[in-house]
């Protein structure tokens, strides 16, 4: 498990050629939950509640005093950055696994897979020439 609490490819125990459609769906769902956790860390509830309450009492947004950033805010923001880093690494890996699945099991062309993922055909071609294994990701 990574620092953000998500499963890593190593945790799955699957080889890329053993991954099924349900596995891919589960991983994308996990990734979405990781991104939500990162967003929650970014959102400082006490500051947001303070600003909302002030606004409800007629204080205009440009009159808000600067809210002091305390150690807890910095720690939550640091954890959010780490969570985003972990998300990005996991997403990059599982995007590639999904592309390989599309090419190998769903019989998509490289051009179609590239178009639907929003990457270059050369990227898909490179991935196809050098397929992933779980061991390579460790």
The structural domains of the chain, with segments of one domain joined by +, span: 9-97
- Sequence-distant (≥ 6) Cβ neighbours of residue 123 within 8 angstroms: 114
Examine the pLDDT at 44 and tell me if it is beyond 80.
no
pLDDT at residue 38, as a whole number: 86
CA 66 to chain centre: 31
The pLDDT value given to residue 19:
80
Mean pLDDT for 65-83 is 74
What's the mean per-residue pLDDT of the chain?
77
Mean pLDDT on 15-42 = 85
Contacts 24+ apart (CB under 8 A), 10-19: 10/134, 10/137, 10/138, 12/134, 13/134, 14/134, 15/133, 15/134, 16/97, 16/100, 16/131, 16/132, 16/133, 16/134, 17/104, 17/131, 19/97, 19/101
pLDDT of residue 11: 47
pLDDT band at 20 (very low <50, low <70, confident <90, very high): confident
pLDDT interval class at 41 (50, 70, 90):
confident
Q: How many CA atoms lie within 13 A of 37 on its CB side?
A: 19
Per-residue confidence band for 63, with pLDDT thresholds at 50, 70 and 90: very low
């Amino acid at each position: 498990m990574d620092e953000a609490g998500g499963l890593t490819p190593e945790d799955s125990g699957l080889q890329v050629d053993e991954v099924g459609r349900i596995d891919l769906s589960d991983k994308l769902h996990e990734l979405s939950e990781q991104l939500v956790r990162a967003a929650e860390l970014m959102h400082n509830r006490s500051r947001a509640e303070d600003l909302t309450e002030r606004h409800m009492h007629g204080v205009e947004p440009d009159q808000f005093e600067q809210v002091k950033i305390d150690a807890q805010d910095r720690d939550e923001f640091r954890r959010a950055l780490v969570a985003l880093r972990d998300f990005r690494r996991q997403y990059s890996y599982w995007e590639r696994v999904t592309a390989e699945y599309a090419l190998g099991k769903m019989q998509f062309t490289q051009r179609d897979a590239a178009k639907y993922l929003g990457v270059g055909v050369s990227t898909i071609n490179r991935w196809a020439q050098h397929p992933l294994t779980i061991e390579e990701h460790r």
